[in-house]
Structure 1
Amino acid sequence: MKKLLLFFLLAATACAPKTQIKVPDGGFQDYFKPQPGQALISAHRGGGDYRGYPENSIESFAYLAEKIGTPTRPIIIECDINLTRDSVLMMMHDDKLDRTSTGTGRISDVTWDYCKTLRLEDNQGNLTRYKIPTLEQVLRWGKGRVLYTLDVKRSVPFDKVVAMIHRTNAADYAAVITYNAIDAAKVYRLDPSLMISVNVRNRADYERLRELGVSDRNMIAFIGTREADPELYRFLHDKGIACILGTLGNLDKQAVAKGDYVYREFVRNGADILSTDRPLEVLKAVEL
């Protein structure tokens, strides 16, 4: 029993941050106030392509939290929520278990009892000792450590996710990702205090959100995976809305080909948050 207790204490220590993040006086929204020339880093799928650190695992979150961020400018963990056959909210990007775990089959066809026996693999296919976490475990672990943007997969009802945010008192550090104005309005109605990642590629997208009642104060604007027109950056910044640029994919590849200095250009051009599969490389680039 003593050995078992020591194991859990050591595991908890290994995942503990050096410094705890602090919620600004103005609340969670203040993390996302545009600050020209500065950017937060968002780790796509909560891991990146680092050997030994699989997507959507608490251990990967802890590794990146240790490397990136400060108490006032913490790392953002973008992570993915799926739903088992027996309605457990668990963390995985794909609808199937095969790519990132030792399991097989569709998540909607299996139970949590099955999923919790599996081990995770990194993006190179290396087996790790890490397990699939539930959303509840992730939210409870993240308090004082990271910020979250929660990608809610199609099979997952928004009301279940919002209820879990309430149950874990995570509204001060967890935002919900939506992909259209109707879903954004749905989340806003479920809890008008939540921060919501919304798709805004042009002014018409913004106006549609406002027509449906979503307030500027609740928006974090995902402008896409290529740079926005400078006028859109200015328009959103004038309303106090931070802009997420998805460098994952082509822009990350551009940085590999041309040099990581391009991340600094993205920030100078107006990006407030860089969502990337290369968070450690982005950190080095934007800190120079």
Structure 2
Amino acid sequence: MAVVLEVKDVKKHIGKRQIIKGISFDIKEGQIFGFLGPNGAGKTTTIRMLVGLIAPNSGSIKIMGHDIQKEKEKALGNVGCIVENPDMYGFLTGRENLVQYAKMYGNVTKERIDEVAEIIGLKDRINDKVKKYSLGMKQRLGLGQALLVKPKLLILDEPTNGLDPVGIMDFRKIVRQMATENKSAVMISSHILAEIQQVCDTVAFINGGEIKSVESLNDKKTKDAKENFVIATPNMVEAIGVLTKLPFVYDVKDDKDKISLSLDTGKSSKVVSELMKANIEVSEFYKTHKNLEDRFMQIVEGGEAKDVAADK
């Protein structure tokens, strides 16, 4: 897959304060990329650099191979963007707003405007004044203006703000459609972790102006089909030897002073039984929940959720 967005060692400071500390990542065509971090982590600053509102102090940002600093028009010609509260002209209709944006792009047909109105679910309200729209309808219209040119890079900042459950499901459908049919790279910044987990296939965790980790959610979802556990024992070498021979145990890893592993559902009591047969002392044995919220806490906040295993 071709790389649509390439961010390489980008830094940004305001005065003496370092906001972004040398971040690097890329997004390929067809990829839906989540961008997660707490308030003040650097998400908004990064997005503002990606859309050309502010310039990095060093490093490079390339969109479809065009450096945003050297070929800004060519780079941004491939970008569609929606921020949390998109600016719309309330005294104009939804259609008239889209027409205004279409004029800025310069290559959008009337047919494309009609098509977008249907995609975003505003076909029956597109000729109403925007001041009569709900917040969710304005959010849909904002997404519509971002889709007008079938962008190769679609950047969405808090895109589900104000949407009801039906609107959120429609949003997921639209995003997946853009990724598959148009082979767009989609970048979503959101504080709603469950939504990111539903729609994204890759996620980057940012905190303190640094990318802490970039991970595939597809890999994680595959692993989540099994249960994940942690074992603490003074007999690490012997325990690992026993565990690696069990057919229902996977991904056994020496994690400092503990052992992490995955196993088939319902086999935790069997693991304890096998370790006891080998006269291996177990001081701790608990299940870990590997959903996105837990991973976020683990990477960004330094915490880790855990339960004692229920099935003994």
TM-score (norm 1): 0.31
Structure (1 or 2) with the greater strand fraction:
2
Greater radius of gyration (CA): 2
TM-score (norm 2): 0.29
